[in-house]
Amino acid sequence: MKSAENELRVVESELRKQEQITFTSLQNLQKSKEEEEKSKQALEQANEDEKRAQTNLKKSEDELNAKKQIWEAAKLAAKVIAGAINPAAAAALEAAEQAVNILMNLITQNKGDLERRQNVREKREKDHQQAVIKREEALKVTETEKENLQKRKNDNNTQKQQLEAAKQQESQHKSAVDATNERHTQLKTQHTSEKEKFTAKAREVKQTNTKLQANNQIMNVIKTAVSSLQAKQTDLNKRSQQANAEAQNNDAQYQTIITAKVEKDNNLKQMQQQHAGVQQQLQGKRGEVANVQNQVKAKQNEEQTILGKVSNAENALILINKSVTELQHDLREQKKEHDAAAREKTKKETEAQRIKTAAQKLESEKTHLEDECRRLQHELQNKDQSLSEKQSERNQLKDDLNVHSEDLKSKRSQVQHHEQTKMTVNSALDENKRKTKVIDKKIKEITVEMEAKNKEKQAAEQQFKESQREVKNKERDITNSKKNLSEKKQEHENGCAKQTKFKEDLSQLQNHKNDFDHRLSEMKQNYNARAVSALQISEQIIQKEIEMKKTSGQKEKSQEDSKQNQSEVSTQEESVNENFDEDQYSDRITKLREAAKQNEDENEQHNDRKEEEVSFARGGVYLIKQRSTLISANKFDTSG
């Protein structure tokens, strides 16, 4: 059975190791699943980024096509208008060309971004495939370890069944051996076994204390390791918090840059809108200037016409016979018209100069806005480059954070493993303490039982000695009774002459005596009860003989008393088992002694009957001895 127990312990140890291996493989499987999920999410994000980059590229290409069309239209317009007559058309052509160049640069950037997104997506696909392969390998390892664990459990159950069978077989052997031993030998063996158990329990307690000390040392080492791991975990938490803070700062900077970029984009759009409005205003002002120039030309033509009319009028003055007054009046009217035309011309020229100045101002503002736009575009490119660098730094920090997180998870798993080991050791310590308490309790119970058994044994021995002493006293009393009976026999021989007259009565009493003997022979099967009945019958016979000795005329009365005694004997036979004890027996012996003294005149037959009664009394003493022995044996059995 010890070999089976050793094998069971080995199997249980292997089972615990296999459970730990299975737990580790399950952790690896969970970790692989998490990595697969992360790589899947990263792949989806990369696909979305690639689609977004493609959308941006397509949008930029569409805008480029639109700008090219505008540029081509501007080039055609410039050729038609001829830059020498209208310099603004050349500026518009140059602006359109710059817009096309900007869009070309933007398309180049979008293409580069698209290529980078595609590379990231391909990398994410590879990472995802590797994570899937790793997860499948971890799943296979986990399934294998689960099968090994089930096999270990089956082996453990088999070993337990074999151990139970060995224990049952050993128990059966012990039961058979114990059943064949005698009660006294069993008590001695039990006493020795209890001593050995006590010694073994004490040895086990000592071993348990040694194990407890070793476990305490192991716990101290584990506590030291746990403290070190906790310090490392605290350091890692601080580093993780710092990394998180840096990541948050980078995110904040990234958001700030994005916000600034959005603001710049909004400002650029607003400036572009203002530029478009200025262009529209400039076109309107140019139209107004052209109208003013046309009006000036019309006024000049009108002035020439008026001058022609004046010359014609002057000529007509000569030719037409009009009065001087009328001619002067016409001259004044024409002069007024000429002055009004001159004033209108001056006004139109002033307005044209003002519009020209405003157009120049708008051109300078346009140039300034274009410079500002180029500067903002350059700043935007710098911000994009800085943002890309920040993003790469952020990704690097995220990677570092992931590495720290993995290290932290590993440390946490180690801490959990140590915690489990600690819990196992604590449970083992608690179990050892409980077993120690149970062993101490059993030792106390065994000690109490041994003390109680010793007390019972001593009481039984004392009672046995008292019974032996009582038996010896009874034997001594019987010996004295024999001596008294011998003396009485001698007295009886001396008084035979006196008993002649009672022969007839004695013969009748002999018949009664035969009846009593027959009844006594039937009563021998009931040991103590038959002996008591014999004593009672003898006592009654003695009383009747005394009564016959007093008077010879009571013969018939004696016969009636004998019949009555028969009924009393039958009644006493029923109650003898309940009333008999050692004190009654002593009373009977005393009465027999008194009766023997009174029977000096009895005959030979009466003396023989007395001897038979004494033999029955001896049988009663023997029964008393047997009873005392049985009582002692029963007490020993009870104590056992």
Structure tokens at 555: 């013969």
**What is the C-alpha separation between 140 and 134, in angstroms, rounded?**
10
For the domain made up of 1-180, the CATH class stated in words is mainly alpha
Q: Provide the pLDDT for residue 582.
A: 43
Q: Provide the pLDDT for residue 640.
A: 38
The sign of the CA dihedral 435, 439, 440, 444 is: positive
Q: Per residue, what are the HEC states of 529-575? A: HHHHHHHHHHHHHHHHHHHHHHCHHHHHHHHHHHHHHHHHHHHHHHH
Give ranges for CATH 1.10.287.2610 in the chain: 1-180
User: What are the counts of helices (DSSP H) followed by strands (DSSP E) for the chain?
Assistant: 9, 0
**Closest of 630, 601, 585, 625 to residue 497, by C-alpha:** 601
Identify whether the C-beta of residue 423 lies closer than 8 Å to the C-beta of residue 219.
Answer: no
Residues in the chain: 640
CA angle 404, 410, 413 (to 5 degrees): 140
CA distances to 69, 262, 442, 446, 483 from 111, rounded to whole Å, are 22, 21, 87, 93, 146
Q: Helix, strand, coil proportions of the chain in percent (round to 5)? A: 95, 0, 5
By CB neighbour count within 10 A (0-12 exposed, 13-18 middle, 19+ buried), where does 128 fall?
Answer: buried
Structure tokens at 593: 């002694």
Q: What is the pTM of this model?
A: 0.25
**Closest of 115, 107, 6 to residue 66, by C-alpha:** 107
Structure tokens at 422: 């600690």
**What is the C-alpha separation between 269 and 463, in angstroms, rounded?**
124
Radius of gyration of the chain (CA): 70
Per-block mean pLDDT, blocks of 10 residues, the chain (640 long): 68 75 78 79 80 78 72 63 52 66 73 78 79 80 80 78 74 65 66 72 72 69 66 67 67 69 70 68 67 69 67 60 58 73 76 74 75 74 74 72 70 70 72 74 73 71 68 68 68 64 64 65 58 59 68 55 47 41 49 52 54 49 46 43
**Closest of 538, 510, 518, 515 to residue 620, by C-alpha:** 538
CA angle 450, 456, 459 (to 5 degrees): 140
